Amino acid sequence: MRRPWLAPFTPLYAAGVALRNTSFTRRPVRRLCWPVISVGNLSTGGAGKTPLTIELAKLLTDNGFHVDVLSRGYGRENSAPARVRPKGTAAEFGDEPLLIARETGVPVYVAAQRYQAGLLAEAEADAASPAGQGDSGQHKFDQSRSPSVHILDDGFQHRQLHRDMDILMMNRTDWHDSLLPAGNLREALHAARRANILAIPADDSGLEAELKVWGWRGPIWRLQRRMEVPKVNGPVVAFCGIARPEQFFAGLEAAGMRVAARMVFRDHHRYSAHDVDRLLAAARSVGATALITTEKDQIRLGSLAASLPIEVSFLTARLRVEIEGEAAAVDALTRWLRDVNLRPPL
């Protein structure tokens, strides 16, 4: 959502971003032993970073890599580095890390500073490796084990940590948006030149052409977004607490679902029993027999879902991302990663 009345404050925000970016040229950036792939975007959410992170984790695992995911764990109650327990709660680990851990089966680590999460990941992998650790406590470079990689979730602006590859998600809304607080961009469009790969919606060939005219010469991944919607007879109440709720509602209606009522909560909203009562009241008022939400909201709802009466179905829509020309894209990525893994760490 754009907020034109806040435009007078945008220059102040832009100055702050410029100062922050300049600071990265004056201080050392910390490096982990394993290569880091960052998945990020320029805007404040809703780009599909989590589904792409899940897809990459699965693809790289299938290609023989030891994969883990590093995340901030937004909204968690503790800031200490931790490994996500798939049976944990959003309050412990954040909704997105928990979703990634459950969907991929790979280790997911959370910390306010992703470098600390990466150190914990590498220490645990070393402890499980026959090579172990050296007397100095430094990670050994072990060519005998599977090549390893960290995936940095929502990491484009987290430049305190060195990354070997930046995958930047971009859509037409970003292309024509403006900086915070009037718009939704965390950085100006020229920041996209830091990326190694741009990932755009597959159905927007015009955006690809505009990016090339703009001067982009790197790879462009075209992403197919697919919403898996369960079949239901009759009207539903749809609700969510995500950055761009209109995308969720539009996806449900495009799938043929009869959305009789919509309820929007703030992004990363932590649900309460009162919220459940409101949802049930809305369902009764429109004669809906089901409530439907996103995977992230389902995780944040947690055990409250069990309090729903049996006559009201609780459904979850799943968002999946696929890369067009997946085989070629993954082949190029894995060849690069295997080459990086053969180099001893600095």
Would you list the domain boundaries of the chain? 32-130+146-224+324-341, 233-319
**Residue 321 and residue 53: Cα distance in Å, rounded?**
9
Tell me which residue of 246, 224, 256, 258 sits closest to 294, measured CA to CA.
246
Architecture of domain 233-319: 3-Layer(aba) Sandwich (3.40)
Same fold, 32-130+146-224+324-341 and 233-319: yes
Q: How confident is the model at residue 141 (pLDDT cuts 50, 70, 90)?
A: very low
Q: Which residues contact 330 (CB under 8 A, 6 or more apart)?
A: 59, 60, 63, 323
Average pLDDT, the chain: 90
CB atoms within 10 A of CB 150: 27
pLDDT of 27: 75
**CATH class assigned to 32-130+146-224+324-341:** alpha beta
State the sign of the Cα–Cα–Cα–Cα dihedral 96, 243, 19, 53. positive
Q: For residue range 248-269, list pLDDT tens digits in order.
A: 999 999 999 999 999 999 999 9
**Residue 41 and residue 155: Cα distance in Å, rounded?**
8
Q: For residue range 1-57, list pLDDT tens digits in order.
A: 678 888 888 888 888 888 887 777 777 889 999 999 999 999 987 778 999 999 999
pLDDT of 137: 40
Q: How confident is the model at residue 277 (pLDDT cuts 50, 70, 90)?
A: very high
Lowest mean pLDDT across 125-139, 175-189, 191-205: 125-139
